[in-house]
Amino acid sequence: MDVTTDANAPWLIVGLGNPGPEYAMNRHNVGFMVADLLAERIGGRFKRAGKAQAQIVEGRLGPPGTGSRRVVLAKPMSFMNVSGGPVNALRDFYKVPVANIVAVHDELDIDYGVLRLKLGGGDNGHNGLKSMTKVMGPDYHRVRFGIGRPPGRMQVADFVLKDFSSAERKELDYFVDRAADAAAALVLEGLERAQSTYNS
């Protein structure tokens, strides 16, 4: 179900991940990868966001004129498990309704590369979502990027903090591109239309 929000209010698209080059290609950092691609598309470069512990890009998504939406792209620089603080600070500063927030994150319970878009719900053990929900409640949008389950007896924490495998990397650019399309569609067309296109 779509939530009606102020048409003039900005959207906040948050890529979840961990800061630092050692984490850059981790499965847990796919949200950062999607945010970087969206920033490239709107011609922006990430910069520090004042007092908020985050990097941001401000711009517009969609065709110029009435069809475009003002967006703030964000990458919290606080580490995954305390992402909620920086996101909430940006929400306050830009006066973004919670329903206009989109978290892009890795999802263990979905096969690699599969997308699921939804509004609200639980955190499914994801520490970034857990932190966001703790400070804002659960009623924000999510673009869930499937990374699959760990093989064998590998611990979840080890799996998400490992880089994508060489086999996965062959398709990673395509899947990140598709996730960026999905996030943009959610903002521009609404949840239900975006779901019908991208919830494979």
Catalytic site residues? Answer: 28
Question: Any residues with CB less than 8 A from the CB of 165 and at least 6 apart, and which?
Answer: none
Q: What is the 3-state secondary structure (H, E, C) of 124-166?
A: CCCHHHHHHHHHHCCCCEEEEEECCCCCCCCCHHHHHCCECCH
Give the whole-angstrom CA distance, residue 181 versus residue 95: 25
Angstrom CA distances, 153 to 26, 106, 137, 164, stand at 19, 20, 33, 18
Give the burial string for 58-95 (b: 16+ CB within 10 Å, else e). Answer: bbbbbeeeeeebbbbbbbbbbbbeebbbbbbbbbeebe
